[in-house]
Structure 1
Amino acid sequence: MQSPSVAELTDRAREVFRQIVDSYLETGVPVGSRTLSRQSSLGLSPASIRNVMQDLEELGLLAAPHTSAGRLPTEIGLRMFIDGMMQAAEPSPEERTAIDASLRRGLEAGHNIEDVLGETSAILSGLSRCASLVMVPRTDPVIRQLSFVPLGPRRAMAILVGADGSVENRVVTLPEDLPPTALEAAAHYINQHLAGQTLAEARTALAAEIERSRSTLDALTAEAVSAGLAVWSADGAQRPVLIVRGQAQLVEPSVDPERIRQLLGELEDKQELVRLLDMAREGEATRIFIGAESQLFSLSGSSVIAAPYRGGSGRVIGVVGVIGPTRLNYARVIPMVDYTAKSLSRLVA
């Protein structure tokens, strides 16, 4: 069902709806007409409020979880509220300082980009009281050193030390009949001739060297070098790094344990999370996915707020966001995510 616009509601319906949503986001429980009449400044009787609630329910904006209960906003209702009625609150000076200080500390200490983003993601989780996530830019490591450890016939462990001090390893499939000395020669060639280059640059340089028939390597060793470089290039292109922090923020005594179990299971599906965040990469501004609007979180009924951040060229290089129940303080959390993304764009560039 398509959400009606705010303009389609009467002033009375708009105010009743706003107060129901505000109450729900604050308490998480259904709102009854008698309670609304007693606590609000509407000046309406419970009977009048019930009539308005019925109209809003027919529009798909409210739902009654039980026959005798009050009303809750539906996901369609929350979408209309966020898009057309919500008044966002800018992050406080203390919140902005906490986000910026986390970024500066990591960068000034010379931490690699993943550590900096992980620390900032943890700060965002604490401030928003949600789980936070950040998709790290797909970076091409600069080679400091590469070595091979034989594992058996046609298999070796390639260990790459990056210029930033990072260490990663991958299992490499080798050419048939490759002698042990060829692995040593391959590592020596990479460290002597390709160190200081990115993996993409190293592969291009190796291809050009072989094409000109001026390589000091024999054919099998050249294949070992190529295999050692290719395993990272292929893996890095297919596996963006995703950092998730603060899952414990999602475990509240008042929340249905089954919903928590479902949500924590969804967070383990990193590939689906990346697909969802790739949708946010395509936008110019913060994206909000409410419940069933994202296939991944439709069962747990969770919301995702995500914003892209940019590198020095202005190109989107990653996404930062939070995950929480649909009962979020959207007016506070959306600007907080947006501010974090803009801070990342300024300081990571």
Structure 2
Amino acid sequence: MASLPVTELSDRARDIFRRVVDGYLATGTPVGSKTLALAGLNLSPASIRNVMGELEGLGLLASPHTSAGRMPTERGLRLFVDGMMQATEPSPEERAQIEARAGAAGPVEEALATTAAALSGLSACAGLVMVPKREVRLRSIGFVGLSPGQAMAVLVSEDGSVENRVVTLSAGMNDAALIEAGNYMTATLGGLTLAEARARLDRELTAGRAAIDGAARALVEQGLAVWSEDGDRRPVLIVRGQARLIDATALADLERVRELLDDLEGKQEIASLLDSAAAGDATRIFIGAENKLFALSGSSVIARPFRGPGGRVVGVVGVIGPTRLNYARVVPMVDFTAATLARLMG
């Protein structure tokens, strides 16, 4: 159904509709005509009910029970978000908290995860950050013996992050071979991505130019294979704060919560949704069934891309929560987080 322009509503209908939406987003419960009459509307409950009935006929409001008040439909929420919402900018304290998490020292993935956690805590939703599979660029590689049959492979990337993997050693592998393998990898493969390193190693071995003995060569190949395989499986989506989706009102609708948590487990589908938000510059808002992924759980996603050097999109940040989330507060918060991450990536 096409969205109804807000200008087609009378001033009275627009005021009543806005009050119903504000009340519902604040409490999670339908809003009745008596409540609106007591809130300062210079109208009788009967007159308010008539207007609410008209809004229901337009598909903007719905009544869950015959005697209950009204609540906005997903179409009504879309009208409110697009044409009536008055955004509330993050407070200085909220901005400082997001900036502190995003600027924390350490690997980029850790900063993204703590930023998602901060956004989750401030928005009372689950925080989401999606980034492409990171191309690890090598700075140095070393091997430390753990036992006669195992060694710890230590990879230091150019961004300062350190990763460790346990590798199995072939019979007779000694400390000298471990040192030789590490020195060779650092000297020959430093500055390359994993894919580039594997390609160079293949060329060196094929041409017989690899100045390294057989045992150390096998260790070099194994080390690269372990990291490359792990990199292929590296998650592209960081989700923090799923527990915040289970609030007092959600407990009354446990099936919706179960559907939502199941959706969050399907990270590839979530990643595809966020990827669609990366196509533009503006914040995207997906409300309920507007995206088939959340048609059953009745959830909303607010997402915005952030850019790195050269203006290239390097990720998407956002939140997921119930359709009754506080759009006016959360949308600017997501915008600010995206701008903060863009400065981090710059």
Q: Which residue of 1 aligns with 2:8?
A: 8
Q: Offset of 1:192 from its aligned partner?
A: 4.5
Deviations 1:204-225 (A, max 9, x none): 4335545756445799998986
Q: Which residue of 2 aligns with 1:112?
A: 107
Q: Secondary structure at the match of 2:294?
A: coil
Q: Which residue of 2 aligns with 1:272?
A: 269
Distance in 1 (CA, whole Å) between partners of 2:164 and 2:78 is 43
Distance in 2 (CA, whole Å) between partners of 1:270 and 1:130 is 17
* Further displaced range: 158-167 or 26-35: 158-167
Query: 1:306–1:319: 8 Å Cα contact kept in structure 2?
Result: yes
Mapping for residues 35-54 of structure 1, pairs under 5 Å: 35-41=35-41, 43-54=42-53
Query: 1:148–1:187: 8 Å Cα contact kept in structure 2?
Result: no
Q: Offset of 1:137 from its aligned partner?
A: 4.1
Q: Offset of 1:158 from its aligned partner?
A: 9.7
Which amino acid counterpart does residue 130 of structure 1 have in structure 2?
C
Find the partner of 1:322 among 319, 323, 329: 319
Q: Secondary structure at the match of 1:120?
A: helix
1:61 pairs with 2:56: no
Count the aligned residue pairs. Answer: 335
Deviations 1:34-73 (A, max 9, x none): 22223233x2222222222222112211111111111110
Find the partner of 1:129 among 124, 127, 138: 124
Distance in 2 (CA, whole Å) between partners of 1:219 and 1:282 is 49
Distance in 1 (CA, whole Å) between partners of 2:81 and 2:234 is 33
Query: 1:17–1:56: 8 Å Cα contact kept in structure 2?
Result: yes
Distance 1:221 1:70, change over 3 A: same
Distance in 2 (CA, whole Å) between partners of 1:58 and 1:78 is 15
Distance 1:266 1:206, change over 3 A: same
1:161 pairs with 2:158: no
1:141 pairs with 2:130: no
Distance 1:286 1:238, change over 3 A: farther
Distance in 2 (CA, whole Å) between partners of 1:319 and 1:39 is 40
* Further displaced range: 204-213 or 332-341: 204-213
Distance 1:83 1:232, change over 3 A: farther
Which amino acid counterpart does residue 5 of structure 1 have in structure 2?
P
Distance 1:10 1:293, change over 3 A: same
Mark the runs of 5 or more structure 2 residues left unpaired by the alignment.
Answer: none
Distance in 2 (CA, whole Å) between partners of 1:286 and 1:316 is 13
Mapping for residues 203-218 of structure 1, pairs under 5 Å: 203-209=198-204, 214-216=209-211
1:88 pairs with 2:114: no
Distance in 1 (CA, whole Å) between partners of 2:51 and 2:223 is 68
Distance in 2 (CA, whole Å) between partners of 1:18 and 1:133 is 29
Q: Which residue of 2 aligns with 1:175?
A: none
* Further displaced range: 79-88 or 262-271: 262-271
Q: Secondary structure at the match of 1:145?
A: strand
Using structure 1 for the length normalisation, give the TM-score. Answer: 0.82
1:346 pairs with 2:343: yes
Distance in 2 (CA, whole Å) between partners of 1:246 and 1:47 is 43
